[in-house]
Amino acid sequence: MRQVPEFIKRIWRTPIWRMDSNQKAIYLTFDDGPNPEITPQVLDILDEFGVKANFFCVGENVQKYRDVFEETKRRGHKVGNHTFNHLKGFETSVEEYVENVEKANELIKSKLFRPPHGRITPRQVNALKKDYKIIMWDFITYDFDARVSPETILNEVKKRSRNGSIVVFHDLTKVAKNMLAVLPKAIQFWQDEGYELKLIE
C-alpha cells in the first residue's frame, strides 16, 4: 500500500494530496474508466450506500464508452481528466502531455485532473495548473496488484484512512476481483467510523 510521505506533500504543494484534515471526510476516487463491464457495477454499489465519488476518466475510454460516461454523470458523480491515452508524464514532453490532456478535455470537460501513475513533472504541472486542479492522493489501494488479497487491501484501508484522505480505486476489468470485493466493505467501514464521503469539486 502506498501513502504519500508528508515531506513530499510539503515540498510539492501545487498538486492536491489530501483535503481538509479538520473534516471527518473521505474522498473516494476511481481511475482509468469508464469500463462497460465494471463501472456500472461500481455505480450500483455507490447507489446502495448513497454515496458519490470522483471518476478520473481516460479520454479514449470516454470516446468508446460514452453511454457509461454519461450514466456516471447522470447518477451525480463528478468526472475528471486522466489524459486521453493514459500517458506517463516522465516519458512525455510538456507539449505532448498538455496536448493529450486538452484532447481528453474536449470529451470530459472537467477542471479536475489526475496524472496517470502519479507521474508528472514540475514543468507539466506548471503548464496545467492555470487551467486544472491537479488531484493526487493520500493513499492508493493497490487494487490493481493481483498479489494483494482483498483482505489485505481492506486492512490497509482501515489503517490508513484519516480526515481528508483522497483514496484511489480503479474501475478496470483486471482489478475487478479485488476492487468489487473491497469497495462495499470499505464504504461500510467509513460510514461506521463516522466519515462523510464527499466529492472533490
pLDDT tens digits along 90-120: 999 999 999 999 999 999 999 999 999 999 9
Question: Inter-axis angle of helices 150-160 and 176-192, to 10 degrees?
Answer: 30
pLDDT tens digits along 157-197: 999 999 999 999 999 999 999 999 999 999 999 999 999 99
**What are the grid coordinates assigned to 32, written together?**
482509468
Integer angstrom CA distances of residue 145 from 30, 72, 139, 141, 174: 15, 25, 15, 9, 9
Q: Could you give the CA distance from residue 198 to residue 190 in angstroms, rounded to a whole number?
A: 12
| Structural domain range at position 39 | 2-197
pLDDT at 69: 98
Active site residues: 31, 170
**What are the grid coordinates assigned to 127, written together?**
503548464
Q: Residue 5: is its pLDDT beyond 90?
A: no
Sign of CA dihedral 95, 125, 56, 146: positive
Sorting pLDDT into bands at 50, 70 and 90, what band is 1?
very low
Domains contained in the chain, number: 1
pLDDT at 7: 58
pLDDT tens digits along 56-90: 999 999 999 999 999 999 999 999 999 999 998 99
pLDDT tens digits along 21-37: 999 999 999 999 999 99
Domain of residue 39, CATH code: 3.20.20.370
Q: Residue 11: is its pLDDT beyond 80?
A: no
pLDDT tens digits along 105-161: 999 999 999 999 999 999 999 999 999 999 999 999 999 999 999 999 999 999 999
